[in-house]
Amino acid sequence: MGIQYSNNSISLSYIFVASIDRMIKVLDKYIIKQFFGGFIFALILIVSVAMTIDLGEHMNKFVLHNLTIGQVLGEFYIYFIPYLIGLLGPYFVFITVIYFTSRLSSRSEIIAMFNSGMSFKRLLVPYILTSTTLALIFWLAVNYIIPHSDVKRLAFENKYIAYQTQSSDAHIHRRLNDSTYFYLRVYDNMAKTAYNVTIEKIVNGELKEKVMADKATFDTLTRTWRLEKLFIRSFIDGKETIEVLESKIYHVNLDPSLLIKRWTHIQELNRTELSELINQLQLQGSDARLYEIEYHKRTSKCFGIILLTIVGVILASKKVRGGIGLHLMLGLALGSVYEVIVKFSDSFAIKASLTPLVAAWLPNFLYLILAGILWKKYQE
């Protein structure tokens, strides 16, 4: 009888464990469903509010250009939505996690999950799976989908909304190859003309040739530069020769697009194009930090989605007197601080105080520390 009793106990234990396992899987599906549903709801709500505000600000310009609602929605706002998601994606996820986790906590559903045998670490699993899925989708979006839509969004803005920016850039230095350097004081993109141009050829630390010209104009058909009013100094075998010319054609491997400070158009570049541009600028000895920051930030923001999800769960899973309102207020504050840190990191990197890689990942590193602190306090 004792052996039979033992077998019955084992059977009952197995049934109990299996039931708990099935229950936890059901809870996983429930959390994932709540997560995705809450994210879509937050996305629709915030995007709708943002579009309404933006439409109110620019309505006079749309009317001025006699644009129909169909044109505004089909040519601008359909591309404005991906831009907004790329800009605030991690923030959307964070607020979503705070809201629905706080709601579960306020209804004592999280306590019920713990009572069913689910540990806090196990509770994090569906959150991490869902946030990782969103992070991968976000990575594809910000690197390849959103840049494509931003081309059309920015084209519409430049045509109907934005004022025309200056068409010239000043004090530009470019390295054409290992020995040739190109300097100019002012570049007019409309006229494809550079003014006060200097070209230097330096071999083994010695100046071999220096060309100075009043201006250089790019010929789009022959892909050459025509320099005018030249003063040429050449150094051969220790002897200096001077030559003065009215004009001369130079076959210089320098595309005019590389003379434009394109920070405002960086959103149009996908990951491949961004990488190629960074390599080109570095080869020419130009400052590529703005582009490097953007390159690294597009990945770090995706990891930030997972990290902010963990912070949000730890923060909102405990039932507090202020309830959902207090959790949301804390979430909005922490999300805003995260964005502020991102902006400060960018500024420090631009001023060369931080490397672009460190600047892009610094907010995540700081919030990883915050997650550790919150986790420790949660265990107390």
Burial class for 50, CB neighbours closer than 10 Å (0-12, 13-18, 19+): middle
The type of residue at 53 is I
Residue 369: the pLDDT is 94
Residue 24: the pLDDT is 59
* Tens-place pLDDT, residues 195-249: 888 888 888 878 888 899 888 888 888 888 899 999 988 888 778 888 888 988 8
Is residue 302 very low, low, confident or very high in pLDDT (cuts 50, 70, 90)? very high
Is residue 362 very low, low, confident or very high in pLDDT (cuts 50, 70, 90)? very high
Residue 264: the pLDDT is 45
Distance CA 195, CA 261 (A): 16
% of the chain exceeding 70 in pLDDT: 87
Out of 22-36, 42-56, 236-250, 306-320, pick the least confident: 22-36
pLDDT at 2 over 60: no
pTM of the model: 0.71
The SS3 of residue 295 is helix
The SS3 of residue 81 is helix
User: If we measure between CA atoms, which residue out of 199, 249, 195, 201 comes closest to residue 223?
Assistant: 249
- Average confidence score pLDDT of the chain: 82
Distance CA 53, CA 41 (A): 18
